[in-house]
Structure 1
């Protein structure tokens, strides 16, 4: 397992700050050794928690043109038919994956294809499971024309703790299934919108792994000869 690039700078400066504070405590608070030792322990635990948040474990990526792969680690918290107003302006099937602070927070392309639409939306920081977080929170919207034909929309959504969304795609890019398209810091969710005739492979409460778990199968569109 390695450390994700988004965490290296944060981890470096956090480590320097913790070392500095602990050295100052041992230098100027030598009479209270018990407190100093406890603070060392708390510092070590805090740093390890931050370290695990930015972990980037190896994944055996699954690729197939008509299979939709989980874009993130987490738990399936929403499966419903909803009106998607931003791009399609029609009814789509929504699948939402909630990422807790202990999940890997890399977000991956659920399908291969071409990015037809991308937009960043500044916004609020409601808790990620709030029904209005999909439209009110800070978020990005990505629409990919899949190799199987159907278009797939997916959103990174910031939560109450997640205060920064990072993305690596733009309109016109060709993307590969399972590759990283971004990172959300400190817990949030990813919403995926697919055509209504898509066959789901997960149910509410299922835990999924980004890049590995199949969440749906798209209906392949055959090009017209006329």
Structure 2
């Protein structure tokens, strides 16, 4: 199963790679060079389609649980001052996605979207300390009666040139459902109240919609 954001890119890539191979078989008469081009283009196409895969995730719904919004590795757990929405100290958990991870962003809790805003910006590497404030990004806050307000931020990286965000203010969303997509590698930060009991630790790998990263009392 592939994400809808990838259909156009995969179709264009397929057409271009077919043209490359047709040209190779028309103008190149050395068999082993033709074979190298064929294998190379097949590998490239495989890498492109795997990037847009969208596996089904059977989220176990729990209003007090915060699930990982994306696949990747936990690279930061620290208290920070969140100045865009909460304007106070928050516990930030950052999940970094490599190019081989699934890049679907999922809602970490069920509830109502209270805030959703896009910010243009730079394309610093995703792990740069200032990436969460200076890079292109979208910020979303979802609220329910048990968990309260949970904020997550999609952050573009050096390779990610487009962030897709489906969250609309006032919409009711379901935990683990599709919230957006980041094209070609980046990270997502989750902001929770200070003192929230966490279920993850640094360098732990998580799966979006499945791994519980925190249990809000």
Note closer, same or farther for the CA distance 1:205–1:149 as it changes in structure 2 (3 Å cut).
closer
User: Runs of 4 or more off by more than 3 Å in structure 1?
Assistant: none
Question: What secondary structure, in the 3-state scheme, does the structure 2 residue paired with 1:56 have?
Answer: coil
3-state secondary structure, aligned to 2:139: strand
Indicate the residue corresponding to 1:20 in structure 2.
Answer: 19
CA contact (8 A) 2:70 2:209 kept: yes
Pick from 67, 75, 78 the counterpart of residue 76 of structure 2: 78
Match of 2:122 in 1: 124
User: How far, CA to CA, are the matches of 1:204 and 1:146 in structure 2?
Assistant: 27
TM-score relative to the length of structure 2:
0.98
In the TM superposition, residue 141 of structure 1 has moved relative to its aligned partner by 0.3
Q: Are the equivalent residues in 1 in contact too, given 2:141–2:151 (CA < 8 A)?
A: yes
Q: Give the alignment partner of residue 183 of structure 1, picking from 156, 181, 186.
A: 181
* CA apart distance, 1:121: 0.4
Between the aligned partners of 1:33 and 1:163, the Cα distance in structure 2 is 38
> Larger C-alpha radius of gyration, 1 or 2?
1
Partner of 1:217: 215
Which secondary structure state, in structure 2, belongs to the residue aligned with residue 104 of structure 1? coil
Displacement of 1:197 in angstroms is 2.9
Runs of 5+ consecutive residues of structure 1 not aligned to the other structure: 220-226
Query: How many positions carry a matched residue from both structures?
Result: 217
- Alignment gaps of 5+ in structure 2: none
Distance 1:70 1:109 in 2: 8
Contact 2:65 / 2:147 at 8 angstroms: preserved in 1? Answer: no
TM-score by length of 1: 0.94
2:49 aligns with: 51
5 Å-filtered alignment, 1:123-202, equals 123-202=121-200
Partners of 2:63 and 2:147 within 8 A in 1: no
SS of the residue corresponding to residue 3 of structure 1 reads coil
Query: Does the alignment pair 1:65 with 2:63?
Result: yes
1:88 corresponds in structure 2 to: 86
1:33 CA drift (Å): 2.5
Q: How far 1:163 sits from its partner (Å)?
A: 0.6
